[in-house]
Chains A and B, each alone.
Chain A
């Protein structure tokens, strides 16, 4: 069910107000077919509002959007036939079993009873919910509910999928499972719009990124472009012997022409650089001085640093149960 359009999702000047709050203040976005757009932003930035408009749950106050070539307001019915939506808050029926939830959606989509059942089994399998399949969803853990919700949005083989913070609250194993699923879907040609608080997740999955803040797009581009846009690279040197820290710092100062920061706790010498030209000099000097290092790298800024630079404030505190940062690559 891939659409013939090159552009899967296109929004122009989306505005949404809730009383005095402006949730979206004119958002433009384009997602080419078969790609993943990651939408980042702090709490209240307008991510969910954008997803709900593109998912036909909400009408914009101004601007317009097309999904698969269909207008989200005038042709909402057509849009619903090609999308799948996993909202920020689970939208499963807590009083029914996981299997019944999925079968019900299959039936609503017009599958026969046996097809709906087959599809439900398939999805339970894929999301490792087979054992819990016949328990009512109320008894599921937060992560299981999240997975069921994701499964529910896939019943109809959507060609365009919205995932609003799909891995919030998932453990690293389940999160990896979701990532795998998203990658598989993309291989099959699905277009994905994904919002997330986790910079790492956006970096891992998205072809392009957008950073929302206060209802506006404050930055967009490929992950690497954003990193380059937001800050310089840094040269990191980690001596094997903590006692060598000062000598390494002196070598780096001489090679780069700027005094590096010395992190005694992590035994790390780090200095911002504009390019990699000083790298060979540092290597040679270290060699001459006979200093062994465990790390020598030219590093792009992390997305966390990018985020801080772009929005002027740090990404929001992560919930304590989310063990995501640093768990990946």
Chain B
């Protein structure tokens, strides 16, 4: 033990920022180690796009063919893709927790929120990737931003931010539920009605009354409207404001719940 001792530094204010970034970095390193774990944000969006476009496109757009359906479908599918990607955050976190690294984190003098923010920020990479893959596929098939490239990019940013807000639900459930399978089970139970019971694939007014009532309060609807307005055209203000309100609300409710679940989990 002749080496000079590198003293442990004193804890500083805002240390949690550095800690969160370190843990986000960890998650990104892990992605590079297991690239196959990216299947859900790379191949899945492509397959979904192909399926919905070519299988339902003709029937839904009535005569306009899949080319006519693409500008409507793509912004909607973008929303569905990131919303599905958010549940991966919960499953991954639960899995991670079961492996014991979190015992290490919890025995270190770091902020309670850091591992959670780290997980979310790390997953921002996955979300971004899914957005880019889907938009690129759309472009290959002939999709173009009709409302200026700036608005188009803003649309991509907003959908990313929405994912980062919504994923706190899954962070919370991921910590709350015992197994990753449990998280996945609940996720599918929620995700399918939430995304298919919406204006993503068909106009909301073709839906039966009870569904329309649901669609009117679902944040998915407003996010889809926002995206369509930014990428294609149409009224922006109302859906955008409602979407932003939902984002704030989701974080305000589920981030504290997640932290509490993290504290209690043993």
Interface residues of A, Cβ cutoff 8 Å to B: 1, 52, 55-58, 77, 80-81, 83-85, 87, 89-96, 100, 104-105, 107-111, 115, 118-119, 122, 136, 152-153, 156-157, 184, 188
Contact = CB atoms under 8 A, between A and B. Distances in A.
A188 B22 CA distance: 30
B107 A56 contact: yes
Given A80-B108, A87-B103, A157 B8 contact: yes
A184 B266 CA distance: 32
Contacts of B9: 109-111
11 contacts: A55-B107, A57-B103, A87-B104, A96-B33, A107-B19, A108-B105, A110-B9, A110-B12, A152-B104, A157-B5, A188-B1
B266 A57 contact: yes
Interface of B: 1, 3, 5-12, 15, 18-19, 22-23, 25-26, 29-30, 33-34, 99-110, 114, 266
A94 B99 contact: yes
A77 B3 CA distance: 28
A108 B22 contact: yes
> Binding site of B, secondary structure by majority: helix, strand, loop or mixed?
helix
Contacts of B6: 111, 115, 118-119, 122, 157
B8 A91 contact: no
**Residue of B12, B106, B266 most packed against chain A (CB within 10 A):** B106
A107 B18 contact: yes
A96 B106 contact: no
B8 A109 contact: yes
B88 to A, nearest CB: 16
A81 B266 contact: no
Kindly list the 8 A-B residue pairs having the minimum CB-CB distance in the complex, ordered from nearest.
A110-B9, A80-B109, A91-B104, A91-B100, A81-B109, A95-B30, A85-B107, A156-B8
Contacts of B11: 81, 110
Contacts of A118: 6
Given A108-B19, A110-B11, A188-B1, A95 B109 contact: no
Given A109-B9, A110-B18, A57 B107 contact: yes
A90 B104 CA distance: 9
Nearest to B106: A57
B105 to A, nearest CB: 8
A83 to B, nearest CB: 7
A96 B30 contact: yes
**Residue of B8, B9, B15, B25 most packed against chain A (CB within 10 A):** B8
